[in-house]
């Protein structure tokens, strides 16, 4: 029974690993971060994965011990207090509180804050496109292509002209909803110039799966040319 359980455990770990690795890269992979906020989110994801993997292995080891013959001396004779209070209450409470504190710390770091070098861009969603306005000038807009400066924080003021959508560029930051009559601000930043895929991950009607856009991060000279009207 023990050998069979061990083989099943190895098969499960291998299948999860092989199934997870292909999703670590790609245009829409949050595990292939290209900005400070995305790096923090990816780190939180890996911390949680490693923590729960260790817990899973620990629980499987206890399960394997449960199948050992009684009196073999291979099963530690822990007191009920250890099993119920220690492993049943204290252990999960410490793990969950630790992850909660770490998650709150990460979330606090992702909050947009005032700064002299922060660029603000307005993003308005509708079925099924995005309209981006730069510098408060309504005449300076782009459709489904968001231009930002690389290496500089950018605050995206997100709203919608119709139903609820969501703004998500997995490689640059987390996801934030676009709500009618309300403005949510999300800070994004690209480490280097390049093109990054974005989408609305909110089910908002037939066609939402094609509600996508592109983020183009420019170097200093290209960004200045863009601001001057040379796209």
Q: 149 or 30, which is more confident?
A: 149
Q: Mean pLDDT over all residues of the chain?
A: 82
Q: Does the pLDDT of residue 6 top 50, yes or no?
A: no
Q: Domain 119-227: give its CATH superfamily.
A: Cupredoxins -  blue copper proteins (2.60.40.420)
- For range 79-107, the mean pLDDT: 82
pLDDT of 12 > 60? The answer is: no
DSSP, collapsed to helix, strand or coil, labels residue 167 as: strand
- Whole-number pLDDT of residue 136: 64
DSSP secondary structure letters along 31-80 = TS--SHHHHHHHHHHHHHHHHHHHHHHHHHHHHHHHTSPTTSS-S----H
Residue 2 has pLDDT above 50, yes or no: no
pTM of the predicted protein model: 0.74
**Mean pLDDT, residues 107-133 taken together:** 85
Identify the band that residue 15 occupies on the pLDDT scale cut at 50, 70 and 90.
Answer: low
Beta bridge partners of 148: 217
Which helix H or strand E contains 13, and what residues bound it? helix 2-20
> Is 90 exceeded by the pLDDT of residue 227?
no
63 pLDDT higher than 90:
no
Question: How far apart are alpha carbons 177 and 201 in whole angstroms?
Answer: 9
* Rama region for 26: left / alpha / beta (φ>0; ψ in -120 to 50; rest): left
């Amino acid at each position: 029974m023990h050998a069979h359980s061990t083989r099943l455990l190895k098969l499960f770990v291998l299948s999860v690993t092989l199934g997870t690795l292909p999703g670590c890269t790609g245009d829409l992979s949050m595990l292939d971060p290209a900005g400070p906020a995305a790096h923090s989110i990816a780190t939180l994801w890996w911390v949680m994965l490693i923590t729960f993997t260790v817990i899973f292995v620990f629980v499987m080891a206890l399960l394997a011990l449960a199948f050992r013959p009684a009196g073999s001396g291979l099963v530690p004779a822990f007191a009920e207090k250890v099993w119920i209070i220690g492993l049943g209450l204290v252990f999960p409470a410490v793990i969950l509180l630790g992850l909660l504190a770490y998650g709150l710390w990460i979330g606090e770091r992702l909050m947009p804050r005032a700064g002299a070098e922060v660029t603000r861009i307005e993003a308005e969603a509708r079925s099924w496109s995005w309209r981006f306005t730069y510098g408060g000038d309504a005449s300076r807009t782009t459709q489904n292509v968001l231009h930002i400066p690389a290496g500089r924080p950018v605050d995206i003021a997100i709203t919608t002209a119709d139903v609820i959508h969501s703004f998500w560029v997995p490689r640059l930051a987390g996801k934030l909803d676009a709500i009618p009559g309300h403005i949510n601000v999300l800070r994004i930043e690209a480490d280097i110039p390049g093109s990054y895929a974005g989408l609305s991950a909110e089910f908002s009607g037939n066609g939402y799966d094609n509600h996508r856009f592109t983020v183009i991060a420019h170097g200093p000279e290209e960004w200045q040319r863009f601001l001057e009207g040379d796209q």
